[in-house]
Amino acid sequence: MRNPRRWAKRLVMDGSIARPRPLLALGVRLATALALATMAMLVKLAGERGAHLIELIFWRQLLTVALLGTGLAVAGRLSLLRTRRLGAHGRRAATGLVGMLFTYGAVLLLPLAEATTLSFTAPIFAVLIAMVLFGEKIGRYRWSAVVIGFAGVLVVMQPGSAAVEGVTLTGVVVGLIAPAVVAFISFQIQDLNTTENPWSIVFWFTALSTPVAALALPFVIAAHDPVTWGIILLMALTGAAAQMLLTTSLRFGSAAVILLMDYTALLWASFYGYYVFDRAAPASLWLGAPLIIGAGVLIAWRERQLARARAHPAA
Q: What is the mean pLDDT of each run of 10 residues along the chain (315 residues)?
A: 39 41 78 92 94 93 91 88 91 94 94 90 85 82 85 77 69 92 86 83 92 92 92 92 78 64 87 90 84 83 73 57
pLDDT of the residue at 190: 78
CA distances from 249 to 22, 145, 261, 266 (A): 9, 26, 11, 19
CA 216 to CA 54: how far, in whole Å? Answer: 7
CA 243 to CA 237: how far, in whole Å? Answer: 10
pLDDT of the residue at 255: 59
CA 226 to CA 297: how far, in whole Å? Answer: 43
> Would you say 270 and 115 are in contact if contact means Cβ atoms under 8 Å apart?
no
State how far Cα 35 lies from the chain centre. Answer: 11
pLDDT of the residue at 312: 67
pLDDT of the residue at 175: 92
Residues with Cβ within 8 Å of residue 257, at least 6 apart in sequence: 22, 25, 26
SS3 (DSSP) at 61: helix
Dihedral (C-alpha) 201, 206, 83, 81: value to the nearest 10 degrees?
-80
CA 260 to CA 258: how far, in whole Å? Answer: 5
